[in-house]
Amino acid sequence: MSGERLLMSGDDAVALAALHAGVRLGTGYPGTPSTEILETFDRLGGRAQWSPNEKVALEVGMGTAFAGARTLVTMKHVGLNVAADPLFTAAYTDIEGGLVLVSADDPGMASSQNEQDNRHYARAAALPMLEPIDSQQAYDFTWLGLEISERWKIPVILRLTTRVCHSKTAVVPRDSADEMAEPRFERDIPARVMIPAYAKPAHHRLRQKLAEIADWNEQDGPNRLDEGKAELGIVATGIAAVHAREAAPEARQLTIGLTYPLPLDRIRAFAEGVERLVVVEEGDPVLVDALRAAGIPAEGKPEMYRFGELNVERVRRILAGDTSPEPIPPKGKPPELCQGCSHRTVFQALRDLDCIVAGDIGCYTLGVLPPFSAMDTCVCMGASIGVGLGMRHVLPEDQARRVVSVIGDSTFVHSGITGIAEMVYNPPATGHLVLILDNGTTAMTGQQEHPGTGRLLDHSPTGKISFEALAESMGVQNVHVVESSAGEEGLKTLIAELLAKPETSLVVTRQPCVLAAPKIRFYEKAAAEQLAAEKGCAAEPAG
């Protein structure tokens, strides 16, 4: 395949590079625009698994890297918030196998609850960050990230954005890596056990590593100079660099690939050779602030361009200093729950009962829109239970009794279980009610499996968490499962009864997502056939 020109998305390019570079394990949690990376890696023959959430995915990745194997960990930008605890201390440790952590950011919020700029994490956690501009660089930087990671024994963040993840551009892959040594654990306690006695020198080591990487970046880093007229110099990163080339092809442009730690001497020399220096970057003014802090005078973009994605036209406006109002894009059709979606019944019941609904993230967040308008809060994955409990604790009784927390099955496994621990441990005087909307899949991100479905990433059977058994074992007082056949009236009656009780209650509403149902039936049939075949084999010697 080496030398062949392939048209592929940035996500697929990362997966292909991981395969060619000998990544032993890919872990992650689904989230647009990162989800396809592990799915493609699996399809190509790599070993990929969904973790219950991003923190666990990174921890599993750290374990494989400690064991000397190359690892890819994927998540969307907000997933890095969940993984931030291991991330910051992982930076202090020495890893053996290369570890690349993909943070897929979503400027413009095509499918996210915020547009946080994860470049801040590179500086905050002190980890090198690579930012590709297209699929070729997504491929190349995955390899490079693994190499940097192994050379300096440090995890590397590969920051993608929606356009790079999903746009298809040409990729010329290289030869696969030579056969790599088998993973083997070599004990190095001071480098891996972060008690203060070892963490203090580890922090010094980390700063030393970064200084060395910055030096390397000055000379050999993946930074590109496009010659042009000295009147206008542009420093850019990521997809914004592509827009800038098109908006101002006559300009001299320095495109930075390793954006943390920055090659500041190189940028300073570039700045000295141009009459006007403009930083073109999507999102927050991260790069321009870093340049100014280093004493390099640079123009940034007006505040209005901090919001949403950039494009060629917006970059033209930035370069012209144009702050006039931008044309308003035509409104698309608002999204809605599919016809026949099981979430509809739940939100009809909640609306009819005039509940105060602490909501969560998934397809069911659409319950906030008409005709239901039956969701009152939604912050981040898993927040529904804590937020509902907080309201229950302080609201007057008549309102507190109407509060319900609503959470999807994948979201429950991701970060809802600790909410149940909180409910059992600090129960409000009026009790509380949690609804798990179990549609048998992670519908919102494209029907991924999770530990509650009993199937692995490739849909083959594995262990399955029973939500009802879990809730009972944790001490929830009333646990019910409502199958689809109960209908809206049955569900309404049950919710009303439970709201009247000053006890903790959990209801699992179980009905497959209508879009996923045929596939779920197919996987279940395949699993049953496999089981029967295995039993048949086992039975043979006896017979």
Ligand X SMILES: Cc1ncc(C[n+]2csc(CCOP(=O)(O)OP(=O)(O)O)c2C)c(N)n1
Other beta carbons within 10 Å of 47: 15
82 binds, among ligand SF4, ligand X, none (CB under 5 to 8 A by kind): ligand X
Question: Smallest gap, in angstroms, from Cβ of residue 491 to ligand X?
Answer: 16
For residue 474 the two structure tokens come to 């944790």
341 binds, among ligand X, ligand SF4, none (CB under 5 to 8 A by kind): ligand SF4
Asked whether position 514 contacts ligand SF4 by CB under 6 A, the answer is yes
Tell me whether residue 153 or residue 343 sits nearer to ligand SF4 (CB atom). Answer: 343
For residue 168 the two structure tokens come to 């298809």
Report whether 222 contacts 144 (CB < 8 A): yes
Question: Smallest gap, in angstroms, from Cβ of residue 108 to ligand X?
Answer: 15
Question: Smallest gap, in angstroms, from Cβ of residue 282 to ligand X?
Answer: 20
Tell me whether residue 515 or residue 526 sits nearer to ligand SF4 (CB atom). Answer: 515
Tell me whether residue 103 or residue 410 sits nearer to ligand X (CB atom). Answer: 410
Q: Which residue is nearest to ligand X (CB)?
A: 408
The percent helix, strand, coil of the chain (3-state, each to 5) is 45, 20, 35
514 binds, among ligand SF4, ligand X, none (CB under 5 to 8 A by kind): ligand SF4
Asked whether position 407 contacts ligand SF4 by CB under 6 A, the answer is no
Question: Smallest gap, in angstroms, from Cβ of residue 295 to ligand SF4?
Answer: 52
Tell me whether residue 157 or residue 482 sits nearer to ligand SF4 (CB atom). Answer: 482
515 binds, among ligand X, ligand SF4, none (CB under 5 to 8 A by kind): ligand SF4
Asked whether position 343 contacts ligand SF4 by CB under 6 A, the answer is yes
Euclidean distance between CA atoms 252 and 108, whole angstroms: 28
Asked whether position 369 contacts ligand SF4 by CB under 6 A, the answer is no
Tell me whether residue 28 or residue 221 sits nearer to ligand X (CB atom). Answer: 28
Report whether 518 contacts 340 (CB < 8 A): no
Q: Binding segment for ligand SF4 among 135-143, 338-346, 464-472, 477-485 (CB under 6 A)?
A: 338-346
Tell me whether residue 278 or residue 378 sits nearer to ligand X (CB atom). Answer: 378
Question: Smallest gap, in angstroms, from Cβ of residue 341 to ligand SF4?
Answer: 3
Question: Smallest gap, in angstroms, from Cβ of residue 450 to ligand SF4?
Answer: 14
148: helix, strand or coil: helix
Q: What is the DSSP letter of 338?
A: P
Q: Binding segment for ligand SF4 among 62-70, 326-334, 368-376, 513-521 (CB under 6 A)?
A: 513-521
Tell me whether residue 430 or residue 439 sits nearer to ligand SF4 (CB atom). Answer: 439
Question: Smallest gap, in angstroms, from Cβ of residue 442 to ligand X?
Answer: 4
Q: Binding segment for ligand SF4 among 75-83, 393-401, 507-515, 521-529 (CB under 6 A)?
A: 507-515
Report whether 270 contacts 235 (CB < 8 A): yes
Asked whether position 341 contacts ligand SF4 by CB under 6 A, the answer is yes
Euclidean distance between CA atoms 344 and 358, whole angstroms: 16
Question: Smallest gap, in angstroms, from Cβ of residue 363 to ligand X?
Answer: 3
CA dist 82 → 78, 271, 327 (Å)? 7, 38, 36
Tell me whether residue 384 or residue 439 sits nearer to ligand SF4 (CB atom). Answer: 439
Q: Binding segment for ligand SF4 among 96-104, 375-383, 452-460, 512-520 (CB under 6 A)?
A: 512-520
Tell me whether residue 439 or residue 509 sits nearer to ligand SF4 (CB atom). Answer: 439
Residues 251-310 that bind ligand SF4 (CB under 6 A): none
Euclidean distance between CA atoms 373 and 384, whole angstroms: 16
Question: Smallest gap, in angstroms, from Cβ of residue 342 to ligand SF4?
Answer: 7
435: CB partners within 8 A, 6+ apart: 346, 404, 405, 406, 407, 495, 506, 507, 508, 509
Euclidean distance between CA atoms 282 and 161, whole angstroms: 10
Report whether 282 contacts 239 (CB < 8 A): yes
Report whether 255 contacts 141 (CB < 8 A): no
The residues facing 99 across adjacent strands are 71
121 binds, among ligand SF4, ligand X, none (CB under 5 to 8 A by kind): none
Euclidean distance between CA atoms 200 and 194, whole angstroms: 9
Tell me whether residue 169 or residue 509 sits nearer to ligand X (CB atom). Answer: 509
Euclidean distance between CA atoms 19 and 266, whole angstroms: 33
Is residue 394 packed enough to be buried (19+ CB in 10 Å), middle (13-18) or exposed (0-12)? exposed
Q: How many residues in the chain?
A: 543
Angle CA(56)–CA(40)–CA(30) in degrees, nearest 5?
35
Q: Binding segment for ligand SF4 among 148-156, 172-180, 349-357, 508-516 (CB under 6 A)?
A: 508-516
Question: Smallest gap, in angstroms, from Cβ of residue 339 to ligand SF4?
Answer: 8
Asked whether position 439 contacts ligand SF4 by CB under 6 A, the answer is yes
Tell me whether residue 16 or residue 363 sits nearer to ligand SF4 (CB atom). Answer: 363
Euclidean distance between CA atoms 436 and 35, whole angstroms: 23
Tell me whether residue 103 or residue 411 sits nearer to ligand X (CB atom). Answer: 411
Pick the closest to residue 54 from 108, 102, 19 (CA basis): 102
130 binds, among ligand X, ligand SF4, none (CB under 5 to 8 A by kind): none
Query: Which residues are at the interface with ligand X (CB under 6 A)?
Result: 29-31, 76, 78-79, 82, 361-364, 381, 408-411, 439, 441-445
453 binds, among ligand X, ligand SF4, none (CB under 5 to 8 A by kind): none
Euclidean distance between CA atoms 174 and 20, whole angstroms: 8
12: CB partners within 8 A, 6+ apart: 36, 37, 40, 135
| 3-state SS track over 92-105 | CCCCCCCEEEEEEE
Positions that interact with ligand SF4 (CB under 6 A): 337-338, 341, 343, 363, 439, 443, 513-515
